[in-house]
Copies of this chain bind each other. A is one copy, B any other.
Amino acid sequence: MRAKASQQTKASAAADEGAPGGGIDYGPLDRRLGYVLRRAQMAVFRDFFSAFEAFDIRPAQYSILTVIECNPGLKQSEVSEALGIQRTNFVAMVDELQRRGLVRRDPAPNDRRSYALVLTEAGRRLMGELHEVAERHEQRIADAIGAETHRRMFATLWKIARIGEGGER
């Protein structure tokens, strides 16, 4: 525990550089990467929510539609695995996108138990708009933290995203 104590101090000092005060003592939370990642993700999602409010599109729906758009005909299980979304949640989300006329479930070739996902014409048209909104959202994030910092984050975040995964994502 002695070696760890000095490490804690270093991590804590690093956290203090960026962490705002506000009179609350966050104790060891300030040196928990999961907590700070969650706060950062929430802030970016807040901007996303307000940008996509008029379209009634949430981040997970945008991700699903994008993967279907870029890979038409993938099976449901392939899309949910690619995005790391649990099967049950995923099926409910696709149900909603289908009900809204954006996604179609076709019979999967050579596999009677599963469906191949494709965008409808309305889905394809909507994606054209969504990508433009998403690009402006991304630009706001880059402007807020600096283009260079924004650019540099991706490689490190993917490294973190692969922890415990043996290479898949």
Give the B-binding residues of A (Cβ under 8 A): 4, 7-8, 10-11, 14-15, 17-20, 22, 24-48, 59, 63, 66-67, 69-71, 74, 78, 82, 84, 131, 134-135, 137-139, 141-142, 144-145, 147, 149-165, 167-169
Give complex CA distance A169, B15 in Å: 13
Give complex CA distance A131, B42 in Å: 24
Quick one: which of B20, B25, B63, B169 contacts A20, CB cutoff 8 A?
A: B169
Copies of this chain, whole number = 2
B32, A157: Cβ atoms closer than 8 Å: no
A154, B17: Cβ atoms closer than 8 Å: yes
A159, B164: Cβ atoms closer than 8 Å: no
B31, A154: Cβ atoms closer than 8 Å: yes
B69, A139: Cβ atoms closer than 8 Å: no
